[in-house]
Amino acid sequence: MCGVRMRKFSGRAELRVGIDGVWDRGDVRVRKFRAEDVEAVLAISAQSREAANWSRESYEKLAIEEGAWAFVVEADGKISGFLVGRRVEDQAEVLNMAVRADHRRKGEGSALLSAALDEFRLRGAKNVYLEVRESNTCAISFYEKHGFFRSGRRKGYYRAPDEAAVTMERKLRVPPG
């Protein structure tokens, strides 16, 4: 079971992008990651067994690394989740994503993913890729709900515990221009 069922949010059209690059849905706000967000992101990562366990230094580099994008989602003025991705040429990848356990299934993950996909699309990405633990059926279901499809399997990809990864992909429609 993936948890208690809450209100549904499709992640489509309800997010409005403001002039400052903030995606706003009213009750939930997604913005770009800043260096001062590291503590909150580390805390969320520590409580999210399924997320990649990155070092403080890795998150600090995100604030300045070219080609990398990181986003946080805020609910009630506090960071409740994050997503890290990167784009190279016309390919993008979701590298890490987590939402606080008590904020899951409330649309915050959908808002994060929608904002990241919008950013990737605007930057010219045609495909988005990711890996997810094979046992993380909730995440696989979440990504499938958002248009990703299973494209492969990588045996022994994850450590502690050793586990295969399901690779997933989504095609993006690039805006004309």
pLDDT at 164: 95
Tell me, yes or no, whether 125 lies in a domain.
Answer: yes
Tell me, yes or no, whether 143 lies in a domain.
Answer: no
Query: Which of the four pLDDT bands, split at 50, 70 and 90, describes residue 6?
Result: very low
- pTM check: above 0.95: no
Question: Mean pLDDT over all residues of the chain?
Answer: 83
Average pLDDT over residues 111-136: 92
Tokens of 164: 């295969």
* Residues 29 and 74: beta-carbon distance below 8 Å: yes
Give me the number of domains the chain comprises.
1
Tens of pLDDT, residue by residue over 55-65, are: 888 887 776 77
* Residues 87 and 69: beta-carbon distance below 8 Å: yes
Tell me, yes or no, whether 165 lies in a domain.
Answer: no
Tens of pLDDT, residue by residue over 20-53, are: 556 666 678 899 888 889 999 999 988 887 777 7
Half-sphere exposure of 84 (CA within 13 A, CB side): 24
pLDDT at 2: 61
pLDDT at 11: 43
Average pLDDT over residues 157-171: 91
Dihedral sign (CA 39, 41, 42, 44): positive
Tell me, yes or no, whether 137 lies in a domain.
Answer: no
pLDDT at 4: 39
Kindly tell me if the per-residue pLDDT of 14 is higher than 60: no
Tell me, yes or no, whether 34 lies in a domain.
Answer: yes
Average pLDDT over residues 96-108: 89
Return all residues near 5 (Cβ < 8 A) that are at least 6 apart: 105
The position carrying tokens 């506090």 is: 78
Q: State the residue range of the domain holding 34.
A: 16-131
SS (H, E, C) 71-83: EEEEECCEEEEEE
Query: Which of the four pLDDT bands, split at 50, 70 and 90, describes residue 9?
Result: very low
Tell me, yes or no, whether 175 lies in a domain.
Answer: no
Tell me, yes or no, whether 91 lies in a domain.
Answer: yes
Any idea what the CATH number is for the domain that residue 47 is in?
3.40.630.30
Tell me, yes or no, whether 27 lies in a domain.
Answer: yes
Nearest to 98 by CA among 67, 52, 63, 134: 52
